[in-house]
Amino acid sequence: MNRKLRDQPITRAAVVVAMLLTAGFVTANLWLHLRITHWQDGVERGASAIRLLDDFKHACEPVTDLAIAAELLPVEELLAQLDTLTQEAQELAVHPALAPLGAAKPAEQLADAARRLAGGVVVLSGPLAAAPASERAAAGREIHAAVVAARRQAEVAVAAIRHELTEMSLEMHDSNQLAKGLLLVSCGFAVLLVALLWFRQHDLLRLLETDRQRHAADRHLAVVLERAPIIIWSLDRELRFTFLRGAAIPAGAHDAATSMMGRTLAEYFGTDDPACPPLTHHRRALAGEPQSYAVRWQERNFIVHVEPWREGAEITGVLGAAVETTATTRMQAQLAHSRERVRHLEKMEAIGRLADFVAHDFNNFLTVVLGYSGSVLQQLPATAPHRFEVEEIARTAERATWLTRQLLAFSRPTRIEAEAIDLASAVRALAPVLERQCGEAIVVELDLAPAIPPILAHRTQVEQIVLNLAVNARDAMTRGGRLRIAVAHDSATAARPGAPSTESAVVLTVSDTGIGMDEEVRSRIFEPFFSTKADGHGTGLGLAIVDAIVRERGGTIAVDSDSGRGSTFTLRFPAAIGVELDRIEVATAPPPIGRGERVLLVEDDDAVRTLAERTLEAHGYLLTAARGGLEALDRAAAGPPLDLVLTDERMLRISGSELISRLRERQPGLPAILMSSHSGGSAHATVNGEVGFLAKPFTVAELLTTVRSTLDM
């Protein structure tokens, strides 16, 4: 039996009662068994005695008859019967079954009668046959009287035995009723005891289950206290610790926590200043006011709740719990930063959309300026008085295209096709812009090596890289300084001719004498939206864009800087050895001439449309001009078949790519050119078949060359 079950007082009492009752039932059973055995022996003895007495009475009858006729019968027969009867009488007198059955007196009388019979036998043993008849008759009467007396005593003994058996029967009946009663009582008590034990067992099992659950809860609580970022404690009225547990207890303080029992809260925090927030709030809780507050302790954040510990109406101490929120606080800060970034991106997106529209219209203006200035330059001789002014107008318009490219790259960043460019020439062309950007307080120095191989990039990307690095250096030199830009060729390993080399590199170095950067800032300068500038003075995207462009072109970027000694950015681009430069020199050959091809010109800007129309008509093309897509469809349907469609991409109602698709449904394979301020990738995706692309702003030469090359494909 389970030890806990044995230890229960009620269970022990029930077991003792059950043992006592079991012993009583065993004793009663033994007593009844002995009684029944005694009664069984008495019945057997009584039955045996009755049989013997009945046999004796039957044996007396012939002896009686012979005794009466003794004077007539032969004496030998009477003597033989009398001798047999005498022996039976003596056996009855000493039979062990008569005395216990209450037949002792009849047995004694029967023994007397037997002795008299024996005397009669002795009397008769004489010469009875020679005796006279009167003597013989007297002897017979005496024998008869003795036999009758013996028979009577036998009948009395039988009656006594039967009476005794009747008493035994009554006792057996009573004992049987008693046995039945004991059996019923024992069965009832057994059922009651079983029920009691079952209910007690069920109750004990419930108690054991409750105890098991409590131990499991204690184990779970211990696990929670060991792993969860919480601290639980209790204090008495003197603010002395009576309990302190929790996984959030700082490392190294666990051993101290176990030794804090009996020590004060002030000792735990190492101060008894009443203004200490934990002490203040615990004293308020001790006064009956629950407190919840946030606290930062040992570089960690906690939310704490303390309340009075009441026993009845009396406050006996303080209960407290603290949850560490360091990670949550960090996540909330990151979430707030992310929300700020989202708001910033939304603003940037709105600005980008505005920049897109501005750049689109500005490109149209630049297209007109570049177009007409190019036409004028073609007509002016080299010694014309105003040729320099017109060339300066063209150069200024070309530099202005950089602004529109920046705006378009900002509003719709797309992958730009690479071209082979001279990095040194591109940097040299940016020198005036750099000087204006940096101001008079900063000296711009260029160290450009001659005859370096080209790189595969795009001029817009190169301009973005140089200008972003220059602006970053300018902001680092608030009191002026020196900005040095160098381009060199690292030819430590020879490259294979005719193919871009990943071993030979063109190195761009941009260094300044600014405030420099510490290690933490250096590790994050290429993260998007990371900036050390004040709010409103930077987006944190400049260096991220530089890093993205360099990686896109297969290059690497490294920074060397320290606080107070400036910064140096080193960019390495794979050299494209054996690849011819694109747009190194302005083409001097005459522009290509048309051969009477019919061109449908679609442009919603009047100035650009007029420029393109005059230029193409002047160079041998038959022009049909339209302001929009619907008008262009009507003019194409009403006129002869077309040789080329030249259309702007961004127009109302019908875009340029959709217009080309619809015209090609009528005239399959129709050559087409899209004009757009953006890269042609997105427009090409919506047009079935090949399509040419003319980027705005464009010059007259670029317009004529693109039209001729598209027609000749």
Q: Which of 172-186, 623-637, 693-707 has the lowest mean pLDDT?
A: 172-186
- So what's the pLDDT on residue 96? 60
User: 311 - beta bridge partners?
Assistant: 314
CATH topology of domain 3-208: f41 fragment of flagellin, N-terminal domain (1.20.1330)
Q: Is the pLDDT of residue 238 over 80?
A: yes
Nearest residue to 526 (alpha-carbon basis) of 551, 542, 509, 543: 543
Amino acid at 13: A
User: What is d(CA 477, CA 474) in angstroms, rounded to the nearest whole number?
Assistant: 5
Tokens of residue 129, six digits: 């046959």
Is residue 124 very low, low, confident or very high in pLDDT (cuts 50, 70, 90)? low
3-state secondary structure of 101: coil
Strand-pair category, 481-490 with 442-448: parallel
3-state secondary structure of 457: strand
Q: Is the domain 598-711 a CATH 3.40.50.11270 member?
A: no
User: What is d(CA 77, CA 86) in angstroms, rounded to the nearest whole number?
Assistant: 14
User: What is d(CA 489, CA 496) in angstroms, rounded to the nearest whole number?
Assistant: 15
Q: What is the DSSP string of 675-704?
A: EESS-THHHHTTSSS--EEEESS--HHHHH
| Domain range summary for the chain, segments of one domain joined by + | 3-208, 228-324, 423-580, 598-711
Tokens of residue 41, six digits: 């022996």
Cβ-proximal residues to 130 (8 Å cutoff; 6+ apart), any chain: none
User: What is d(CA 222, CA 225) in angstroms, rounded to the nearest whole number?
Assistant: 5
- How many beta carbons lie within 10 A of that of residue 55, not counting itself? 13
Query: What does the longest C-alpha to C-alpha distance in the chain come to?
Result: 219
Q: Kindly report, residue by residue over 332-386, the tens digit of the pLDDT.
A: 878 887 787 777 667 666 766 776 667 667 777 777 787 788 778 777 887 777 7
Compute the average pLDDT of residues 684-692.
Answer: 61
Q: Is the pLDDT of residue 595 over 80?
A: yes
User: What is d(CA 99, CA 164) in angstroms, rounded to the nearest whole number?
Assistant: 11
DSSP category for residue 588: -
The CATH H-level (homologous superfamily) assignment of domain 423-580 is Histidine kinase-like ATPase, C-terminal domain (3.30.565.10)
User: What is d(CA 104, CA 628) in angstroms, rounded to the nearest whole number?
Assistant: 155
Is the pTM higher than 0.85? The answer reads no
Cβ-proximal residues to 349 (8 Å cutoff; 6+ apart), any chain: none
- So what's the pLDDT on residue 674? 93
Amino acid at 608: V
Q: Which of 258-262, 406-410, 596-600, 669-673 has the lowest mean pLDDT?
A: 406-410
Q: Is the pLDDT of residue 4 over 70?
A: no
- So what's the pLDDT on residue 6? 45
Amino acid at 511: S
Residue pointed to by tokens 């020439």: 425
Bond into 274 cis (ω within 30):
no
Cβ-proximal residues to 37 (8 Å cutoff; 6+ apart), any chain: none
Nearest residue to 348 (alpha-carbon basis) of 414, 405, 407, 404: 407
Q: Is the pLDDT of residue 513 over 80?
A: yes
* Helix ranges restricted to H, 442-557: 459-476, 519-522, 542-552
Tokens of residue 623, six digits: 């022009």
CA atoms within 13 A on the CB side of 354: 6
Q: Determine the distance from the C-alpha atom of residue 200 to the mean position of all C-alpha atoms in its chain, rounded to a whole number.
A: 42
- So what's the pLDDT on residue 508? 93
User: What is d(CA 428, CA 435) in angstroms, rounded to the nearest whole number?
Assistant: 11
User: What is d(CA 673, CA 660) in angstroms, rounded to the nearest whole number?
Assistant: 9
Nearest residue to 231 (alpha-carbon basis) of 245, 242, 219, 251: 245
Angle subtended by helix axes 431-438 and 387-411, to nearest 10: 70
Cβ-proximal residues to 444 (8 Å cutoff; 6+ apart), any chain: 431, 434, 435, 438, 470, 483, 485
3-state secondary structure of 707: helix
Nearest residue to 437 (alpha-carbon basis) of 483, 407, 466, 474: 474
Residue pointed to by tokens 């993205």: 548
**For all residues of the chain together, what is the average pLDDT?**
75
Whether 423-580 shares its CATH topology with 598-711 is answered no
User: 575 - beta bridge partners?
Assistant: 455
CATH topology of domain 228-324: Beta-Lactamase (3.30.450)
